[in-house]
Structure 1
Amino acid sequence: MAHIQDVAAYILDKLGPTTAMKLQKLCYYSYGYHLAWEERQLFPERFEAWANGPVSPALYAKHRGRFQLQAGDINGDINVLDEGERESIDLVLASYSDFTANQLSQMTHAEQPWMFARERAGASPMERSAEPLTDEDMFEFFDTMVTAVSHGEEG
């Protein structure tokens, strides 16, 4: 099974230089859509409901203190990703890579997985929270998004 650093390395390889926050959000969207499309985890690492949106502490530990990242900055093995995993990430990059880190962060604030985790934690808007986002909430949200798109509705 791939790990988040493998997905992050793949994204940086495909996208080029990007901010750490944007990388976090692209990993989050890759995970969520992959869960809905393939009905399996993209990687075992969890996301937490931090103030600026979903963040993987495991990935954060790899880029802490860095604003900008580029290919090679995250030590991961892109060769462990299978065809379905690469396809999920590629589709997310095609749809989300033009958004800024702040736009992606704002988008996650309006989405149920992050909002539900913040509610469970009782966290105020800028309060720190280590509350995990659940696969159940993520699957339900992203499956609804996929279904809406496949039926020509706006999500």
Structure 2
Amino acid sequence: MATVRDVAAYILQKRGPMTAMKLQKLCYYAYGYHLAWEERPLFPERFQAWANGPVSPDLYKCHRGRFQLDDGDIAGDPDALDDGERESIDLVLQGLGDYTAHQLSTMTHREAPWVEARARADVQPLQRSTEELRDDEILEFFDALTAAGDDGQAEA
């Protein structure tokens, strides 16, 4: 199975440079859509409900203190991805790759997986949280999105 670092390295290879926040959100959306489309996780690492949206702490450790990232900045192996994983990521990049980090973050703030994790943590908008987003909630949300879309593409 691929890791979040492999996915991040692939995204940067395809669409870099970008901000660390945008990379985090694209990894999250790739995870969610892949879970709905393929009915399996894209990688084993979890996302937490941070103030600015879902964040993978494992990926954060790779870019902490950096604003901008480019191809090669994350130590991952894009070749570790299988065809289904690459296809899911490519579809997300087609649908959401041109959004800004702020737009993607704002979108996650309206979506059930992050909202529900923040509610479980009982935190205020700018408070820190390490509450994990749950796969069952991510699957339910993204499955509903893909069922609602005519072409299954990532939608805003």
Report SS of the residue matched to 1:49: strand
For 1:126-137, what aligned pairs fall within 5 Å after superposition? 126-137=126-137
Residue 26 of structure 1: aligned partner: 26
Identity across aligned pairs (percent)? 67
TM-score (norm 2): 0.96
Residue 55 of structure 1: aligned partner: 55
Number of corresponding residues = 154
Residue 92 of structure 1: aligned partner: 92
For 1:5-154, what aligned pairs fall within 5 Å after superposition? 5-150=5-150
**Hey, what's the Cα distance between the residues in 1 that align with 2:42 and 2:145?**
18
**Hey, what's the Cα distance between the residues in 2 that align with 1:55 and 1:151?**
28
**Hey, what's the Cα distance between the residues in 1 that align with 2:44 and 2:150?**
28
TM-score (norm 1): 0.97
> Cα deviation per residue 1:93-115 (whole Å; 9 max; x = unaligned)?
00001110001000000000000
> Cα deviation per residue 1:28-50 (whole Å; 9 max; x = unaligned)?
00000000000000000000000
RMSD: 1.3
**Hey, what's the Cα distance between the residues in 2 that align with 1:42 and 1:139?**
12
Q: Which amino acid aligns with 2:112?
A: Q
CA drift at 1:11: 0.1
Q: Which structure 2 residue ranges, 5 or more long, are not aligned?
A: none
Which 4+ residue blocks in structure 1 deviate beyond 3 angstroms?
none
Q: Which amino acid aligns with 1:73?
A: D
CA drift at 1:151: 7.9
